[in-house]
Amino acid sequence: MSDLLYICLDATDASVENEVLAGHCEVRMLGATSAAELKDSDLAAADVVAVWHTIWLDEALFARLKKCRAIIRMGVGYDNVDTHAAARAKLPVCNIPDYGTEEVADSAMALTLGLFRGVLCGASKLANGESIRGADAIAAAVPYVKRVRDSVLGLVGLGRIGSAVALRAKACGFDVVFYDPHREDGSDKALGIRRAASLEALLGESDCVSLHCLCNADTFGMMGAKEFGAMRQGTLLVNTARGELIDEAALADALRSGRVAAAALDVHCQEPFARDEGALAGAPNLYCTPHNAWYSPESRHEMRRKGAEAALRALKEPTKSLRNVVNREELLPFLMPSQDAGADALAPEAASGLVDSLRTMAQPLMSQVSTIQDGAKQLGAAMDPRLAARPAGKPSPAAAPDNKATPKKSGVGPDFTGFFLINKDSEAYQAVESSE
């Protein structure tokens, strides 16, 4: 048996994980519901740590990990992991971005159609014992019901799930419009949908708005009083992304005023959700499900298998070879090139030669550029090809799928600038800096 250890903090069944990891490491499922329940002995021994969404991983927890190589977030969103603190602890955080795209898209469409066709409202009224009979009574019971054909469905975020919803909605007859400032030009043409120039523009023309973006510092509470005020009277709202995207007090006011005719939410600011507690208590025409949009037996098995495969890569491959690292850019300043194992790591003799090469080439190149950063990019073209081949840094969201409505940062790309950031106090860096 290997002395390597995989632990999952908040799950109990290990059957799928053992199928992938047997013979490579020990699998230990802790079944905790909070960080306080975790034993230091388990955390200190872990080589890879997996977590679903019930435990918050922060700097204090990372300090309890003594030899961990990676964090595997079992899901798309990673808002329960402090990715900045993980980077400082030199821990890559890998998510599973593609495990349940169909399920969430199908659920979003089910909720959307349930609002449009009065299914959610009608079922709720009958469950509460109401008697509804005749055309007038039906019309009064579900006053916001609309015909789907040519109704405008506005999607906030056009990542994997948003795109899947767009295709389903088109098939149903919706006129689909999306807002996502980070999708490349032509995304609308590829899917045969329309693009809104701003969130306000999308809100102003949509009959229903469906959220499909990450929750981070820029999108937290993005649907507030101002945004609800930009909607047309009687707009519908669906959220299968993250509860924190919505200011729930503002939504409750919008539901009471009729600005939002009805809302269907699979995610909430506080989970498990209690209908009679919090800002949404007593709000009318609100239909909620318990964060189950992602679930099917198939999607759960797929996520566990993909999570175990990601753990195996973390055990067997160098950090820079890992996939779906959501804090890759933040990690770079904390990782020296030689820290990664593998044949393509920068050897000590190469590093020594690099210093001499920098001294020789720095002066003529620096005379042509105005900043150390520009000079670094030019130097990169002449350096060891293994440095030039470093993978481009990815924008790192401040917090939690899939969905690409996230801010882009300027990051360390596959140029020599990355080496300066990593080796800022090195002799080579000082040599080039002093040549300006």
- Output the pLDDT for position 1: 55
Both 108 and 88 in one domain: the answer is no
Return the sign of the alpha-carbon dihedral for residues 145, 149, 150, 153. positive
Q: Could you tell me the pLDDT band of residue 337, with boundaries at 50, 70 and 90?
A: low
| Number of helices (H), then strands (E), in the chain | 19, 12
Peptide bond into 284 cis (omega under 30): no
Q: Could you tell me the pLDDT band of residue 179, with boundaries at 50, 70 and 90?
A: very high
Both 59 and 91 in one domain: the answer is yes
CB 293 within 8 A of CB 103: yes
Question: Looking at the annotation, which residues are catalytic?
Answer: 242, 271, 291
How far is CA 284 from each of CA 14, 249, 253, 393, rounded to the nearest angstrom? 42, 13, 10, 46
What global pTM score does this model have? Answer: 0.73
- Output the pLDDT for position 289: 98
Kindly tell me if the per-residue pLDDT of 309 is higher than 60. Answer: yes
| 395 secondary structure, DSSP code | P
Residue with the two structure tokens 């469409």: 109
Q: Could you tell me the pLDDT band of residue 360, with boundaries at 50, 70 and 90?
A: very low
Q: Is 349 helix (H, G, I), strand (E, B) or coil?
A: helix
- Output the pLDDT for position 332: 87
**Distance of alpha carbon 239 from the chain centroid:** 15
Both 258 and 311 in one domain: the answer is no
How far is CA 132 from each of CA 14, 129, 412, rounded to the nearest angstrom? 49, 10, 62
30/201 Cα distance (integer angstroms): 47
Q: What tokens were used for 373? A: 């950063």
User: What are 103-138's pLDDT values in tens digits?
Assistant: 999 999 999 999 999 999 999 999 999 999 999 999
User: What are 384-404's pLDDT values in tens digits?
Assistant: 444 444 444 433 344 434 443
Domain termination residue (choose one: 278, 313, 332): 332
- Output the pLDDT for position 335: 75
Both 270 and 314 in one domain: the answer is no
How confident is the model over 421-428, as a mean pLDDT? 42
28/91 Cα distance (integer angstroms): 20
- How many other CB atoms are there within 10 angstroms of residue 216's CB atom? 23
Both 199 and 224 in one domain: the answer is yes
Name the least confident of 92-101, 367-376, 422-431: 422-431
What residues form DSSP beta bridges with 287?
A: 264
Both 366 and 425 in one domain: the answer is yes
Both 191 and 245 in one domain: the answer is yes
Kindly tell me if the per-residue pLDDT of 412 is higher than 80. Answer: no
Number of compact structural domains in the chain:
3
Q: What is the DSSP string of 265-332?
A: ES--SSSS--TTSSTTTT-SSEEE--S-TT--HHHHHHHHHHHHHHHHHHHHS-GGG-SSBTTHHHHG
Both 365 and 246 in one domain: the answer is no
Q: Is 194 helix (H, G, I), strand (E, B) or coil?
A: strand
Both 149 and 279 in one domain: the answer is yes
Residues present in the chain in total: 436
- Output the pLDDT for position 158: 98
Supply the Cα-derived Rg of the chain in whole angstroms. 25
- Output the pLDDT for position 333: 87
**HSE-CB for 389 with a 13 A CA cutoff:** 8
Q: Could you tell me the pLDDT band of residue 27, with boundaries at 50, 70 and 90?
A: very high
- Output the pLDDT for position 145: 95
- Output the pLDDT for position 378: 52
From the list 212, 271, 199, the residue with the least C-alpha distance to 241 is 212
Average pLDDT, the chain: 84
Kindly tell me if the per-residue pLDDT of 63 is higher than 70. Answer: yes
Q: What tokens were used for 259? A: 């600005």
Both 324 and 364 in one domain: the answer is no
Strand order in the sheet with 70-73: 26-29, 5-8, 48-51, 70-73, 93-94
Structural domain harbouring 396 = 339-434
Q: What tokens were used for 143? A: 């006053």
CB 55 within 8 A of CB 34: yes
Both 320 and 369 in one domain: the answer is no
Domain termination residue (choose one: 276, 310, 332): 332
| 159 secondary structure, DSSP code | S
- How many other CB atoms are there within 10 angstroms of residue 187's CB atom? 18
| 30 secondary structure, DSSP code | -
- Output the pLDDT for position 320: 81
Residue with the two structure tokens 């709720």: 124
Domain termination residue (choose one: 288, 323, 348): 288
From the list 47, 130, 55, the residue with the least C-alpha distance to 92 is 47
Both 136 and 272 in one domain: the answer is yes
User: What are 213-262's pLDDT values in tens digits?
Assistant: 989 889 999 999 999 999 999 999 999 999 999 999 999 999 999 999 99
- By the 10 Å C-beta count (0-12 exposed, 13-18 middle, 19+ buried), 63 is classed as exposed
322/397 Cα distance (integer angstroms): 18
Q: Could you tell me the pLDDT band of residue 321, with boundaries at 50, 70 and 90?
A: confident
Name the least confident of 78-92, 106-120, 352-366: 352-366
- Output the pLDDT for position 121: 96
Domain with residue 42: its CATH number is 3.40.50.720
Q: What tokens were used for 99? A: 């495990």
How confident is the model over 294-317, as a mean pLDDT? 96
How confident is the model over 393-417, as a mean pLDDT? 39
